[in-house]
Amino acid sequence: MKIAALGLTFALGALAALAAPARAQEVLPPPPPPPADEATPARPAGDPRRDGPAAPREPRRAASPSTVIGEAPVAPAGSMGSPLKPDEQVYAWKFSLASGVIGRFGGYQLHTDQENAGLLLYFGGQADGQWTEGYGRAARLRVRLMTGGERVIFVPSDGEVEAAFMLGRPELRFVVGRVEVARYTGLALQALAQVATLPSFEGTLSAAGDKVRFFYSISPVEMAWVSYYNRAHIRHTAALATETDHPDAASSFRARATFVVPPAVLLSLEGDFLKFWGSADMLTAAEASASFAVLEKSVLIAFSARWEAFRRRDNGDGGGTPGASITADQFLGMASATLVF
């Protein structure tokens, strides 16, 4: 019996010794974390949740409703008194290009052996810059070109080029400098140059929630110079000085009023006036147009009618009195398309 008890005790002790390592493994603490210098797995590229906030997008031009003028041009590119309206949040400059056809009626007869050309091609370009911070600045470059007024349809014959720089807010700007050079064969004008600075003013006023817009340009005193076309030129004599003898002081005024007619028609009326102080020379013009702004106001389809006249001094070659006033006028009808960008 004692031998059996000793055997049982020995067997239980052996089993306890074998089970001890297993219990020791069960209570071991978890393994320590990996060292800090170990490479961490790469994050997937382009994941905005891990790469931080996305870069802000560039501002984009948003078209205004068709019931207001907004950023739409009010006349074909290159037209007088129709400055573009840049969106400074996008870009401080705005550009436009135009092309069309013109029917011309009347005017000074360029050649004695044939009638004036009745069909002209129209090309226009314009760039307007605006910076409203601080005291405000603005600049304008404008080109209006007509071809075919003389014998060849693709040879430039009429038009004008204008460059201007202004200071002030859009409603009232001081014209620091403005130069405009024009040629109107149908008005017997070989060249007409205007140079203006202070005290000259211009501005654009909006009313009725931008359903009405009014542009004005006033130059009480400026310098003007004129040269008559071909046979109309005055030869210098003791009794009558040529028109190109010297520049003269002049006054000018230009205005344009534009209205929105529902649902999306722009009606525009424009007028020009220039009067020389030292002679009877005077330029007058009136224009009316109806246009449609389409494709988010990036394209303007326009139909316009313009009457213009210039009063000059007669050279007496046609039997008139030398130095007396004589007027040439013409009517222009135009259809055009303008791209704005």
Predicted confidence (pLDDT) per residue in 64-99, tens digit: 776 789 888 999 999 999 999 998 888 999 999 999
Is residue 192 included in any domain, yes or no? yes
Only one residue has tokens 């802000």, namely 56
Q: State the Cα angle at 323 between 317 and 328, rounded to 5°.
A: 70
- How much is the pLDDT for 340? 95
Only one residue has tokens 């014959």, namely 157
Is residue 331 included in any domain, yes or no? yes
| Cα 121 to Cα 67: distance, rounded to the nearest angstrom | 32
Is residue 294 included in any domain, yes or no? yes
Is residue 165 included in any domain, yes or no? yes
Is residue 30 included in any domain, yes or no? no
Segments forming the whole domain that contains residue 108: 93-340
Write down the pTM of the prediction: 0.79
Distances (CA, A) of 3 to 14, 17, 321: 17, 21, 164
Q: Are strands 282-294 and 119-131 parallel, antiparallel or unpaired?
A: unpaired
Is residue 141 included in any domain, yes or no? yes
User: Contact, 157 vs 120, CB < 8 A?
Assistant: yes
- How much is the pLDDT for 72? 87
User: SS3 of 107, please?
Assistant: coil
State the total domains in the chain.
Answer: 1
Q: In angstroms, what is the C-alpha Rg of the chain?
A: 40
Residues 6+ apart with CB under 8 A from 180: 160, 161, 162, 163, 193, 194
- How much is the pLDDT for 25? 45
Residue 37 has pLDDT above 60, yes or no: no
Is residue 258 included in any domain, yes or no? yes
Secondary structure element (H or E) that encloses residue 289, with its range: strand 282-294
Residues 6+ apart with CB under 8 A from 313: 234, 240, 243, 279, 280, 281, 323, 324, 325, 326
- How much is the pLDDT for 73? 92
Mean pLDDT of 266-276: 97
Q: How confident is the model at residue 26 (pLDDT cuts 50, 70, 90)?
A: very low
Find residue 181's DSSP bridge partners. Answer: 161, 193
Secondary structure element (H or E) that encloses residue 3, with its range: helix 2-26
Beta strand ranges found along 170-209 (DSSP E) = 172-184, 189-196, 201-207
Is residue 315 included in any domain, yes or no? yes
Of the listed ranges 13-17, 35-39, 96-100, the least confidently predicted one is: 13-17
Residue 202 CB coordination number (10 Å):
25
CATH of the domain at 111: 2.40.160.40
Q: Which amino acid is at 226?
A: V
User: Contact, 186 vs 202, CB < 8 A?
Assistant: no
| Cα 88 to Cα 171: distance, rounded to the nearest angstrom | 16
Tell me: the pLDDT tens digits for 220-243? 999 999 999 999 999 888 778 899
Tell me: the pLDDT tens digits for 196-228? 999 999 999 999 999 999 999 999 999 999 999
Q: How confident is the model at residue 111 (pLDDT cuts 50, 70, 90)?
A: confident
